[in-house]
Structure 1
């Protein structure tokens, strides 16, 4: 159901127009401005494919579209954004207005005209919308499900431990001293008897159900990680092959960049998006920067995990951190600098990926040389299990693959 146009100004087909859309779960409200800022009209349409067609026809009735600004391109406006992008419409993400900017009231037409005005005034500074399609969207939905499964599993084990604290003495003493894995396996295999029999049997039933829920979630997480490993390997082989980039941190950074990373104007904008850009915190004679607490915190977590991994096993990173500490920087400052450098590297790996060394023939080369995995690992200073994963393509590593091939092909 649509509302009537509140104001319409006669316009020629050659007129260029700018559009703003206020999105909701069931309806979207569109407002159209001329390039001079004159209000041409607004309309409410249903949030369906037919509504999207009606919205597009309404805009084109005023002239040619210069730009469309949509509020919530990754939430309520995701479907509209995908539809308009398929129609080759240029879209900008509208930044939600602050409460102080709404002193003149709030309604769907007011918000839609405000979005159109913002699009007209700031076409170069407004962020480009994500496409929300393709392999990156597949990764995004699977990462979200895995994250919720991880949280649910943590809640389950916490509930098991809390229940054991208040459980009857016989149950509490029976399961004391077991590690988490053994505790879950043992509880899942118990046969406590009828749950209606006593407090002891009811508690046993509750613990067994929680343990089996924990096992189910573990299987679900493992299956999700297997799917993500395939998708991430297809989407960013150069990134996953770089030292320190685990599968989940890589997937998180890919989701943050989106399926159209070219929308990011520079590596500095990507660092700001990840909350890794330095924030000046100087005063008087003190000249320093502090951690950025904004941006995508999941992407910031991914950079943090990569930084911690490299600090533990990468010599170049250790040397860099040592130089920073020698300059008097604190541990937080060192991590800030590392995350900024990793954000720069990640941006170029996403936008300008390097070719990945082939690994399919490494096992055949090793067999031709007559070497075992242990011998090869000892020769290049690696773990045999790591070389086995590399040969099977389970865990890419460009640096290790290059060193391994050099050793295999050496005279």
Structure 2
């Protein structure tokens, strides 16, 4: 259905217009405003490539497109966003209004006009949409699958433990006190009888199936992590080579920032996006900040993991935490300050990455010097396995690579 309030308004290529789109799974509704706020028309189109072409042609029929505001650029509006970007149309992410703000009712035309009005009123305040392509998009889809596999594996081990608690006595006592890994391996290798034979046989079959499901999920997770390691190494070599950043934490921060991290206005905005910006919680004589419980919780988890890793093995981080505790900071306050500092560092690693020291020649330099991996590791205070991974490019570490190279090339 198409409605238009533009009768008597002369359509001209010189007229600038702003559009808003309310997106859905099967259809999108677009509404057009002039730069003066006059409603020019709205239309519903299918959520297909042909529909995207119709939408853009319809908007351009009213004049030159200044901006298109889209709800859900990372969900139902992802396809439309990619198409408009390929047509060099400037787009913005529309912040969906709260229910309390919808006093005029709700319908597709109402929501589309509201999106257009928001794009017209505050274009600079609206966030730039993620591009949704390239290496980061590849990382996002694999990371999504890994998270679901992790949840499924956790559910499996819980079911196994629950069944073992209520299992017949011979089954329960057989694996009492065994480690989780041993239980999974032994259960997967069992050969219980037919489930119809007895309760013990049915329980054994159930446990065997769960153990094999656990093994399959573990294999799937390991494969996904190998794929992610390769993609992350190509997408953010400077970040993955920085101390404390692992494959999954780096992948998580990359997905939060998107394929176009330049859309982030400042390191403070990235910290707020990650839920690591300080929130004032002062009252009376108390002057303090509290943890931020907003933002992307996956990104906040990644910052938390990096902070814990550095607190355990990074001298500079330990000294910083000690200084904060000496000032009376609690454990939560110390972690909040650490996460804020790591968010600042992560922002610059994403937006202004520095060249990463090469590591492909470290093994050759060591062999030329005629030293073993163990001796080299002892000389610089590192683990032999860690140096081996560094030489093979398995776990980049810019700080360790610089120290190792300096030792290998020293006279």
Bucket of the pairwise TM-score, normalised by the shorter protein: over 0.9
Query: Contact 2:4 / 2:40 at 8 angstroms: preserved in 1?
Result: no
Runs of 5+ consecutive residues of structure 1 not aligned to the other structure: none
Query: Contact 2:33 / 2:116 at 8 angstroms: preserved in 1?
Result: yes
Matches within 5 A, 1:291-310: 291-310=291-310
Runs of 5+ consecutive residues of structure 2 not aligned to the other structure: none
Does residue 7 (structure 1) correspond to residue 11 (structure 2)? The answer is no
Moved segments of 4+, more than 6 Å: none
Matches within 5 A, 1:255-270: 255-270=255-270
Residue of structure 2 equivalent to 1:235: 235
Residue of structure 1 equivalent to 2:225: 225
Residue of structure 2 equivalent to 1:115: 115
CA deviations 1:184-239 (Å, max 9, x no partner) are 01000000011111111001000000000000000000000000000000000010
Q: Aligned partners of 2:288 and 2:88: how far apart in 1?
A: 45
CA deviations 1:289-326 (Å, max 9, x no partner) are 11110000000000000000000000000000000001
Partner SS state of residue 2, structure 2: coil
Matches within 5 A, 1:212-361: 212-361=212-361
TM-score in terms of structure 2 length: 0.99
Q: Aligned partners of 2:294 and 2:175: how far apart in 1?
A: 44
Q: Aligned partners of 1:71 and 1:250: how far apart in 2?
A: 28
Partner SS state of residue 188, structure 1: helix
Partner SS state of residue 40, structure 2: strand
Partner SS state of residue 3, structure 2: coil
Q: Aligned partners of 1:11 and 1:300: how far apart in 2?
A: 49
1:4: Cα distance to partner?
A: 2.0
Q: CA RMSD for the aligned pairs? A: 0.6
1:375: Cα distance to partner?
A: 0.5
Matches within 5 A, 1:354-369: 354-369=354-369
Residue of structure 2 equivalent to 1:156: 156
TM-score in terms of structure 1 length: 0.99
Q: Aligned partners of 1:163 and 1:15: how far apart in 2?
A: 70
1:7: Cα distance to partner?
A: 2.8
Residue of structure 2 equivalent to 1:125: 125
Q: Aligned partners of 1:55 and 1:152: how far apart in 2?
A: 41
CA deviations 1:155-197 (Å, max 9, x no partner) are 0000000011111111111111111111001000000011111
